[in-house]
Amino acid sequence: MEKSEPLAFLEHDHSQCRQTALKCANNQGLRLTKWRQLVLDLLLEDHRSMGAYEILNRLECNGVKPQPPTAYRALDFLVEHGLAHRIEKLNAYVACARPDACQSAGFIICKECNIVAEVECSPSSPELLRVAANVGFDAESTVMEVEGICSNCQNGN
């Protein structure tokens, strides 16, 4: 994947994000059930992070009322297949910005507007992994999340 500006902070056509995600799901032969599709559509509306209960509330406002396990199963499926990411710091989810080319991602999180920008990076710090290995720790994953205030919020936009 070519490194570029974080998509979330750029003006762009969100319908293109949706088309890319659906094409990626189709290419993987994934079965997007009604609930998976609804949850993915919510995550793709913008690049804000959303917790599971916010997703449930948004679905209910749209006239459907799933139980919490339904939303969590849909989110787990989307994360497992690279269509969404779980943002650990926020205990929330965001659609993958580039599901067709995502290798390893880090996240820039705006504390004001809750937009989460996905950036291609290696979240595995060689120093951290070296220390973990030296103490006999078998590292399975690392998470790179940077929290702050985006330029739009800094400028009052």
DSSP 107-151: EEEETTT-BEEEEE-----HHHHHHHHHTT--------EEEE--H
d(CA 8, CA 48): 8
Average pLDDT over residues 136-157: 85
Domains, the chain, with CATH or none: 11-154 (1.10.10.10)
Angle at 149 between CA 10 and CA 8, to 5 degrees: 20
d(CA 32, CA 88): 24
Q: Global pTM?
A: 0.79
pLDDT tens profile 45-69: 877 889 999 999 998 887 778 888 8
Q: Where are the beta strands (DSSP E) in the chain?
A: 84-87, 92-95, 105-110, 116-120, 145-148
Our CA dihedral for 40, 42, 46, 51, rounded to 10 degrees, sits at -100
d(CA 139, CA 142): 8
Assign 130 a pLDDT band (cuts: 50, 70, 90). confident
Residue matched to tokens 């999340």:
145
Assign 39 a pLDDT band (cuts: 50, 70, 90). very high
What are the φ and ψ backbone dihedral angles of 146, each rounded to 5 degrees? -115, 125
Tokens for 6?
Answer: 């974080």
**145-148 vs 105-110, strand pairing mode:** parallel
